[in-house]
Structure 1
Amino acid sequence: MTEIDLLRACQQHDVRAQTALYNLYKTRLMGLCRRYARSQPEAEDMFHEGFIRIFQQLHTLEQSEKLLPWMKRVMVNTAINVYHKNHKQQAETDLDDAWMHASDDHLDTLSRLSNYELLELIEQLPDGYRLVFNLYVIDGYNHVQIAEMLQIAEGTSKSQLARAKNLLKQKLKTLGIYSYEEH
């Protein structure tokens, strides 16, 4: 079954096609949820809620080549909704650290770690830092987009990214990684 056939069958509520779609993308989408969640149970809740939304909104998707990016977007939005639901809007972070600009030194450092080690480090970040870090570094959103999605100031997004990177650097030092290659 091609991806377009799978999409069309799912849109017609074919249970076998929905199961096939779920099995095809469950590992990738669960990995995305794990990056955003504080714990495995929270990731599982996020994942299941996201898949419910995917199946509820699948009828709106017309182009099969956009299926995976669309599903990822639904999962990211679900993660953000879970964040908002579980944490009432916190007071915005002071912008004292906003002068620190994001750099690409994280790329070399991250490549030295296993996915599991990286996930553990990211999971330990405070909620706002973890969300901004994932959205910016891993999913490629810019600060304007992040600010809009999280309903925070753009400067807060920049500040939280800088603080997240500093916390990660401190955690990396405990693992014996002290130097970072500049790109």
Structure 2
Amino acid sequence: MTDLELLRACQRNDPRAQTAFYQRFKGRLMGLCRRYARSQAEAEDMFQEGFIRIFQQIHTLEQPDRMLPWMKRVMVNSAINAYHKNQKQRAETDRLDDQYAAAVSYATDDHRETLARLSADEISALVQELPDGYRMIFNLHVVDGYNHPEIAELLGISEGTSKSQLVRAKSALREKLKQIGIVRYEHS
């Protein structure tokens, strides 16, 4: 079945098509959830919640060529919902630490050369080690392309908090890179 045929069958609530649809897209969408989750179990919960929403709302999808971006957006929203549920000290996240912010370089250089030396799994593992807020904002901004106003709205934080958390995430990643012996960065 083509993606379009599969989509239309799912919109008719065909159970076999739903199973095939799930099998076709589970790897890609689970990978997205893993980027945002603290653990495999949390990723599986996000994924399950996201797929439930996809099947509940699939009848609203009118443009088949937008199917994959739409499903990714549903999964990102599932990750954001999990983030909100698990966030225990939200007030602290919204407070800027001026001393720390002053000490951190606001460099926006893309360290492609550095990252090229690491495998995707190694990079993913480093990002997974970041604190929840850093990891969430890093993934939203760097990996999924959201801007700071969008992130602020999605997470219910200020734009400044989004920016500072991204700076802190980058700084933490630089420290992790130093720990594994990568200390020179090529600027592009």
TM-score class, shorter-chain normalisation, is over 0.9
**Residue aligning to 1:7:** 7
Alpha-carbon distance in structure 2 between the residues aligned to 1:106 and 1:42: 29
Q: Deviations over 1:63-88 (max 9, x none)?
A: 11101000000000000000001114
Is 1:100–1:159's contact at 8 Å kept on the other side of the alignment? no
Percent identity, aligned pairs only?
65
Q: Deviations over 1:102-152 (max 9, x none)?
A: 513233332322122112111111111000000000001111110110111
Is 1:105–1:180's contact at 8 Å kept on the other side of the alignment? no
- Corresponding position: 1:147 with 2:152: yes
RMSD between aligned alpha carbons? 1.5
Stretches of structure 2 lacking an aligned partner (at least 5 in a row): none
Question: How many residues are treated as equivalent by the alignment?
Answer: 183
TM-score (norm. length: structure 2) = 0.92
Alpha-carbon distance in structure 2 between the residues aligned to 1:128 and 1:167: 12
TM-score (norm. length: structure 1) = 0.94
Of the structure 1 ranges 105-114 and 148-157, higher mean CA displacement relative to structure 2 is found in: 105-114
Alpha-carbon distance in structure 2 between the residues aligned to 1:3 and 1:136: 29
